[in-house]
Amino acid sequence: MGFFSKVKKLWGGNVATETPVEATPQAALETGSQAGQAVEVEPSPASEPAAEPDLITQPEAKPQTAELTQAWRDALSASLTSGRAKISEWLGILLSDISATGPDLWARLRFLFATLGAPKAEAEAFIAEFNAWATAMNLQKPEDIRSELRYRLVLALDLEQEQEERTSLFKKLTKGLAKTKARFASGLGALFGRSGGLDDGFWDELEEIFITADMGSEATQKLLGNLKTRARTMGVTEASRFREVLSAELEEIFPLLKKPKVASAPEVVMMVGVNGVGKTTTIAKLAYRARLQGRKVLIAAGDTFRAAAIGQLEIWAGRVGAGIFSKAEGADPAAVAFEAVDKAQREGFDLVLLDTAGRLHTKVNLMEELRKIKRVLEKKHPGAPHRVVLVIDATTGQNALSQTKLFHEAVGVDEIVLTKLDGTAKGGVMVSVAITHKLPISFIGLGEKMEDLRPFVGEDFAKALLGDGD
């Protein structure tokens, strides 16, 4: 569900092209702002016209300026009604001649939302939040403003699955994987280019490539076994056709992510992982995503070992517009978890993201503590934690395997977030984790910005890794 839950039904030709009518204050109230009202609205059939009271008006305070000429309005409306959501096209029109945030941009955004029939309260909340973020993060470069606005609109309007957005993410993934690809694929090109069949020499060479790519011996053996079977099934006997086999195997190697069943709100997500892997920043990024999708998010500071960890979370919560629950340094993390869920239940939060400490995984205490937190959560809120998410730093290579084993045995990991994939040559570790532990990867971190955490798609990963140019 996007933030503008009622907008998507209008996409694809049914956008309001008439001058939008003014929303009554009552209608604005009924549509609710995002806070505490993340009510799932079933999209109605595309043919259903928008309810008039939900439409917002053109900005009254600002008379038509050069930026809001009729020609500009017509161009934007035409782009929006052209049948498909071509994000870059309408975003280009929206931002033409705009180089800074300010009244001109807000007026244009109001027109965009009015044309889409967005509830006024949500449109105003979007603008206010974007403004606050741009100020807090000191967004000044036009490309940063554009990139931030695009991410926000894509999530708010639920457009992440649109082809164009997927293509843009794919490009980013390819860029992030460049070093891994260089290592993983160096040698593959020569191997696939040679004439002849899949003889022992071929398999030995392939094994060496996998080992060099930091895949580890256990995963390498499993992968080789799978590939032999797959080559037989596909009837591939030539080295020159082996790329198809490897590509098909990689596309299927990553288990699919299961949607958690949440019988009653809040959904509780427990983040685990060793020191410095990116747990806290990933929590901020996940909170940010969820907020942009219209959910009410509470961050719980379960890493009570360092005051700085609590402070870091408080800052992030403030920035991304999430609630925060924290206790003093040294407090019992299980008590933090319990009280945070209690607060979430009382105050109608949709999602609780629980940070935990990440001291060395070789310390047994940490695992005991995590088990205790899990037990307390289960007791407090049946079904919780709905997801235990293990954060892994891609740059650690083979250590990722032992970390996964330890955390999985201790608390049962549901999914993995792989951070710092940008700039490392060790991304091949994803393949070994998937093969060895059969755990799905939900998100990958491709940089330090909020928008750099993106859903993982195995098929795209395989394509990016084995695509042209190796």
Binding region for Mg ion (CB under 5 A): 279-280, 309
445 binds, among Mg ion, ligand GTP, none (CB under 5 to 8 A by kind): ligand GTP
State yes or no: residue 281 binds ligand GTP (CB under 6 A): yes
Q: Which residue is nearest to Mg ion (CB)?
A: 280
Footprint on residues 402-421 left by ligand GTP (CB under 6 A) = 419-420
Where in 138-197 is the site for ligand GTP (CB under 6 A)? none
Give the DSSP letter string of 216-244. -HHHHHHHHHHHHHHHHHHT--BGGGHHH
Cα–Cα distance between 330 and 68 in angstroms, integer? Answer: 56
CB nearer to ligand GTP: give 56 or 309: 309
- Among the listed residues 105, 309, 344, 406, the single contact to ligand GTP using CB under 6 A: 309
Q: What SS3 class is residue 92?
A: helix
Q: Which does 387 bind (CB under 5 to 8 A by kind): Mg ion, ligand GTP, none?
A: none
Q: Closest CB to Mg ion among 309 and 353?
A: 309
8 Å CB contact between 426 and 397? yes
Smallest distance from ligand GTP to CB 443, Å? 9
Alpha-carbon span 320 to 343, nearest angstrom: 19
Strand, helix or coil for residue 346:
helix
What is the DSSP secondary structure assignment for residue 270, as one 8-state letter?
E
Instruction: Report the nearest approach of ligand GTP to the CB of residue 65 (Å).
Output: 39
**322-341: contacts with ligand GTP (CB under 6 A):** none
Residue 112 or 453: the one with the smaller Cβ distance to ligand GTP is: 453
Strands (E), 282-358: 297-301, 323-325, 351-355
Contact 56, 114 (CB under 8 A): yes
Restricting to residues 416-445, which ones interact with ligand GTP according to CB under 6 A?
419-420, 422, 445
Closest CA to 434 of 404, 463, 409: 404
- Select from 48, 208, 368, 448 the one that contacts ligand GTP (CB under 6 A): 448
**Smaller CB distance to Mg ion: residue 154 or 354?**
354
Which CB atom, from 103 or from 311, has the smaller least distance to Mg ion?
A: 311
For the chain, state the CA radius of gyration.
24
Cα separation, 180 vs 111, whole angstroms: 44
Residues that bind ligand GTP (CB under 6 A): 273, 275-281, 303, 309, 358, 419-420, 422, 445-448, 452
